[in-house]
Structure 1
Amino acid sequence: PMLVMHGFGDEVLGFTIAFAVLLGVFVTHAHEVRSVYLHTHGNDGSVTQQTVNINNVDHVASVNINAGQQSSSTVMDYDNNIIGYRLFAKKSCYVAKMNRAKMPALNQISKLAQDAKVEDKKQIAPPHGMQYTVSQTPVKNQASLGKSIDMLCRGVPTYWAHETEGTNLFFSASGCVSIRLIFFDVSLCGGLA
């Protein structure tokens, strides 16, 4: 028998599938994984659900954001120094080299998530933001990005994103998609909007 689901959009179904796949990565070592569930409040009064998972065995953290059309999953692979962003509405994935100078250490993420949960009623400004320019050339071998990023990006086009610094940081707000994680803001630019 085939399971038929009515009333679910591609984005919600995609988010659910990706969340289940990512959760599988973390269930393997359940006693070494910490999860924090929280709701953040946007400037427009909207409430966003974020789930933060920290896997100390595989040195991976993920943030799953359930926010309708702005739903996304982010995976930070500290062993491979790669961060991946999957945007469900765009049906695509973006990967970048992890900038350790700007990225919180794996052991800090749990504390940042807990602090955000305690301060739930207040609007907390992330400590900084990162902006990336997205390449138009797809990644050819996603498996080379590591198991966690490969699982995150499997089945959708994946592109490299390069961090933009200095005077080019705010070159154009058009063509950018933003992700507001609890510990930093991300802008992916290059004709994505």
Structure 2
Amino acid sequence: MAMDSKEVLLMEAPPDYTASPRLPGLPCKKLLIVVVVVVVIVLVVLGFLLMGLHITEKHTETVLQMTIQGLDGDGSLQHLSMTRKERLATFHVRVDSNTSATVVYDYSNLLIGYRSWPGPSCCVTKMNKENIPSLDDITKSFQKVQCKLPTAPHQQTEEKEEGLLVFLTDRSLLSTTVNILCSSVPIYWA
């Protein structure tokens, strides 16, 4: 029985080699990578949007605070409210630390009304369509006029006779807004 070991090996059938079965996770691995990449991109975009929203909110708060307090931290010197229907603009102006004033630009009746708070009188002037005075000019000129006003409304002065200051007795010439502004005090044309 001395057979060659080579012969014995050749006589036997070679073993049957088959491919091992593939693991079922390989096609899902590509899908998993795509899902992870999409989630990361969505999180990055969402992070940038939230950061932008936060920055915008902070900027809006800063602008609002500057509007309310003024740039130097004090109260604002002027506030404006407008109505298009009545065509008028109302400014609330702080003259100094103890007084403020209200200026009404009535564009439909071409009138400018001024009343300081506290103040003994109200001043009204006609507005020129082509040359509307600025708020600073109106405030300065009306402050000068109020210094010249007499203490009693019927008291006549030389300036009134010259036409610079005239006591107004007929309030029907004024608009509703200016009448309300000057309701409890004498009105002077300046």
Asked if TM exceeds 0.5, the reply is: no
Structure 1 or 2: more strand by fraction? 1
What TM-score do you get using the length of structure 2 for normalisation?
Answer: 0.44
Structure with the higher helix share, 1 or 2:
2
Greater gyration radius: 2
What is the TM-score normalised by the length of structure 1?
0.44
